[in-house]
């Protein structure tokens, strides 16, 4: 097993070095060599995952004493399979896609180094190795994004990515320094043991080392996973090669969720930091989802979609559902990688024909035609609001009867209920000859999806965090005051029910149409300019350049 642990990140690294040294001789065979190496790494990762599923105990392999430690545990084995699998698909897709591009061999060298760095990050067993891999990922992503050196916008936004990543590296470096100063070890295994023994060690400014380090790690995850105000690099890096975009959105941007899960034994002893994760994640999820709907470029739409999904992932960590965040990032990685690799084909077909049939769904979405005859209010309220809630409660009760005793679980159920109610209500507004058949199909589909999600997420919970006490500590750390929690749930629920009633009767009572149209126009102007975040950053950059120019003139440096 020790050899396999080392082989997984080492195989892509060695192959990249060989490709670089023999590029002139190998010519286009560099692609076949790279694909073969990633296939071997993927098979080795699958073997390690099989050991983990069989109940093998965690193992650490040290390559250099207190640093260079590679760790085998359920989280690292699972993430290694995901990374190597997605990288294998990207390698194969790139064979023909990049064939006519300059720097073909260089591209595969960088792709192999990126895969090796990602695998090293998820297997890192000490802080120094993790920091090294974390930094290399940012540098290699920049080099991959600027594969086309002649495109000025690509160069510009790749630099935005580099600056954001460097900004996110600094908090992680400071967190490592705080933890080493407080607990005197670089090893993650030893560090987590000492934190469990004494989580109240004080550090700079009177803060506990756990709270301060947890906050710094969270900020590093925000930058890497494109949370709001640190998100602009993600939707604007679409000019790079499509396979790089697929790898970035399917694997690299998920690093924030992995980082928080890796330090889960630390977050068991924090409180306010998890609340911050929830707030930032929720806000990012809303902003990303709204901006996604306002784009007219398919890759930029996918970029903002990724931003929204990363917000949901961080929010799940904030409510204590750490294993659910891992499931989310894996499912999103596979889905979004497929979307990016297929984006070119979709664009090509759309240029010939939109291919959209005149179906009732198309008529509803595009022409905004709604039902002329309304169904009874109480019946529709029961179907829309009650049935999704009953399905969610029943599905989670089947997999874990104690699920409803955790605040974080209730929050997730609440979001699932809102989503299900929105789906059924939107379907209710469609114009169809047989609405009851439509409702039955939607409810059955929703029940199947929810049941599958509940079972898979529960399986992830048992696999990644088999100790029930550890799971309870995470949910407990994410909890808030009981009275405030119930009050917030009641207020939000009342708002949703009130909104449902208002929308239900919107077609019957026409009031404030001019004011409503004005509000919608202003809101669309706001989201079309993406909340003016880029304008703000550009203004700050101009001011900084002007200040630097004045300073240079004052000091007579120019």
pLDDT tens for the 558 residues of the chain, in order: 788 999 999 999 999 999 999 888 877 789 999 999 999 999 999 999 999 999 899 999 988 777 889 999 999 999 999 999 999 999 999 998 888 888 899 999 999 999 999 999 999 999 999 999 999 999 999 999 988 777 777 888 888 899 999 999 999 999 999 999 999 999 999 999 999 999 988 877 778 999 999 999 999 999 999 999 999 898 888 777 889 988 988 789 999 999 999 999 999 999 889 999 999 998 998 899 889 888 878 888 888 989 999 998 998 899 888 988 999 899 888 888 888 888 777 777 766 665 555 555 555 545 544 444 555 656 666 666 677 777 767 766 766 666 656 666 666 666 676 766 666 666 655 555 566 666 677 777 677 777 777 778 788 888 999 898 888 888 888 887 777 777 777 777 777 677 666 666 665 555 556 776 787 788 888 888 888 898 898 899 899 989 998 988 888 776
Same domain for 503 and 537, yes or no, is: no
At 381 the pLDDT is 65
Q: Are residues 372 and 458 in the same domain?
A: yes
- Predicted pLDDT of residue 377: 56
Query: How is residue 441 written in tokens?
Result: 């199909």
Residue 196 within any structural domain of the chain: no
457 in a domain, yes or no?
Answer: yes
Whether 417 and 435 share a structural domain? yes
Report if residue 424 sits inside a domain.
yes
Other residues' Cβ atoms within 10 Å of the Cβ of residue 509: 8
Backbone angles phi, psi at 62, to 5 degrees: -100, 130
443: nearest Cα among 398, 496, 493, 384: 384
Domain contains 300: no
The predicted structure's pLDDT at residue 80:
95
φ and ψ at residue 72, rounded to 5 degrees? -110, 120
**pLDDT at position 425, please?**
65
Provide the pLDDT for residue 170.
95
Question: Directed axis angle between helix 255-262 and helix 322-352, to 10°?
Answer: 170
Q: Evaluate whether residue 88 is within a structural domain.
A: no
Find all residues with CB under 8 Å of 188, minimum gap 6, and list them: 69, 71, 124, 125, 126, 127, 130, 262
User: Is the residue at 430 inside a domain?
Assistant: yes
Dihedral, 265, 271, 273, 277 alpha carbons, nearest 10: 90
Domain count, the chain: 2
| Residue at 428 is within a domain | yes
What is this structure's pTM? 0.87
Domain boundary among 469, 491, 509: 509
| In a shared domain, residues 404 and 530 | no
Q: What's the pLDDT at 284?
A: 93
- How many CB atoms neighbour CB 550 within 10 A? 10
- Same domain flag for 467 and 538: no
pLDDT of residue 427: 62
Residue 412, pLDDT score = 67
Burial pattern 443-470, b for ≥16 Cβ within 10 A else e, equals beebbeebbebbeebbebbebbbeeeee
DSSP assignment of 471-520 equals: HHHHHHHT---HHHHHHHHHHHHHHHHHHHHHHHTTTT---SHHHHHHHH
Q: Which of these, 77, 75, 244, lies nearest to 154 by C-alpha position?
A: 244
Quote the radius of gyration of the chain (alpha carbons, Å).
Answer: 25
Contact 333, 90 (CB under 8 A): no
pLDDT at 500: 64
- Position 386 in a domain: yes
Whether residue 546 sits in one domain with residue 466? no
Same domain, 522 and 497: no
* Same domain for 470 and 388: yes
Residues 457, 552: one domain? Answer: no
Helix locations, 368-481, DSSP H: 377-381, 387-399, 407-428, 435-464, 468-477
Domain shared by 488 and 549, yes or no: no
| Integer CA distances (angstroms), 23 to 103, 108, 117, 151, in order | 10, 10, 21, 25
* Domain coverage including residue 411: 363-509
Q: What is the pLDDT of residue 194?
A: 95
CA–chain centroid gap for 155, Å, is: 24
Query: Which of 468, 486, 509 finishes a domain?
Result: 509
Same domain, 370 and 462: yes
- Spell out the long-range contacts of 343-348 with Cβ–Cβ below 8 A and sequence spacing 24 or more: 343/242, 343/298, 343/299, 343/302, 344/242, 346/298, 347/298
Is 525 found in the same domain as 450?
A: no
Q: How far apart are CA 179 and CA 542, in angstroms?
A: 38
The domain boundary residue, chosen from 490, 509, 528 = 509
Q: Is 18 helix (H, G, I), strand (E, B) or coil?
A: helix
């Amino acid at each position: 097993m020790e050899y396999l642990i080392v082989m997984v990140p080492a195989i892509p690294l060695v192959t990249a070095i060989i490709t670089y040294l023999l590029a002139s001789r190998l010519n286009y065979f560099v692609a076949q060599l790279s694909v073969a190496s990633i296939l071997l790494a993927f098979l080795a990762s699958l073997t390690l995952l099989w050991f983990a599923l069989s109940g093998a105990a965690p193992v650490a392999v040290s390559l250099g004493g207190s640093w260079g430690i590679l760790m085998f545990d359920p989280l690292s084995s699972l993430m290694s399979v995901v990374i190597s699998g997605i990288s294998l698909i990207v390698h194969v897709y790139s064979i023909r896609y990049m064939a006519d591009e300059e720097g073909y061999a260089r591209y595969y060298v960088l792709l192999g180094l990126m895969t090796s760095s990602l695998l090293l990050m998820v297997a890192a067993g000490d802080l120094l190795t993790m920091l090294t891999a974390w930094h290399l990922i940012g540098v290699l992503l920049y080099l991959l994004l600027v594969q086309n050196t002649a495109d000025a916008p690509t160069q510009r936004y790749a630099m935005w990515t580099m600056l954001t990543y460097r900004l996110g590296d600094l908090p992680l470096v400071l967190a490592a320094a705080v933890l080493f100063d407080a607990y005197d070890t670089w090893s993650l295994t030893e560090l987590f043991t000492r934190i469990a023994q004494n989580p109240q060690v004080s550090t700079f400014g009177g803060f506990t080392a756990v709270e301060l380090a947890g906050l710094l790690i969270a900020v590093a995850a925000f930058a890497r996973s494109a949370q709001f105000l640190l998100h602009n690099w993600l939707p604007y890096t679409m000019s790079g090669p499509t396979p790089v975009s697929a790898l970035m959105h399917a694997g690299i941007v998920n690093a924030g969720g992995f980082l928080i899960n890796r330090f889960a034994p630390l977050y068991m002893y924090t409180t306010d930091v998890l609340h911050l994760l929830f707030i930032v994640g929720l806000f990012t999820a809303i902003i990303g989802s709204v901006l996604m709907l306002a784009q007219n470029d398919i890759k930029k739409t996918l970029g903002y979609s990724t931003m929204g999904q990363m917000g949901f992932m961080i929010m799940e960590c904030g409510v204590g559902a750490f294993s659910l965040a891992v499931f989310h990032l894996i499912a999103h990685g596979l889905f979004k990688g497929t979307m990016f690799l297929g984006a070119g084909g979709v664009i090509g077909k759309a240029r010939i024909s939109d291919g959209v049939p005149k179906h009732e769904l198309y008529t509803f979405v595009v022409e905004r035609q709604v039902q002329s005859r309304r169904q009874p209010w109480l019946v529709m309220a029961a179907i829309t609001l009650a049935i999704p809630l009953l399905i969610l409660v029943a599905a989670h009760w089947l997999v874990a009867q104690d699920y409803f005793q955790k605040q974080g679980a209730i929050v997730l159920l609440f979001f699932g209920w809102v989503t299900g109610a929105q789906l059924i209500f939107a379907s209710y507004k469609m114009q169809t000859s047989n609405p009851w058949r439509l409702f039955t199909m939607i409810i059955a589909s929703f029940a199947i999806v929810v049941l599958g999600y509940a079972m898979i997420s529960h399986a992830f919970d048992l696999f990644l965090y088999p100790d029930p006490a550890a799971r309870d500590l995470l949910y407990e750390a994410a909890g808030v005051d009981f009275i405030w929690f119930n009050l917030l749930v009641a207020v939000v629920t009342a708002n949703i029910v009130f909104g449902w009633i208002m929308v239900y009767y919107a077609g019957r009572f026409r009031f404030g149409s001019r004011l409503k149209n004005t509000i919608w126009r202003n809101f669309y102007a706001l989201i079309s300019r993406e909340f003016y975040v880029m304008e703000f950053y550009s203004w700050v950059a101009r001011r900084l350049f002007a200040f630097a120019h004045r300073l240079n003139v004052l000091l007579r440096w120019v």
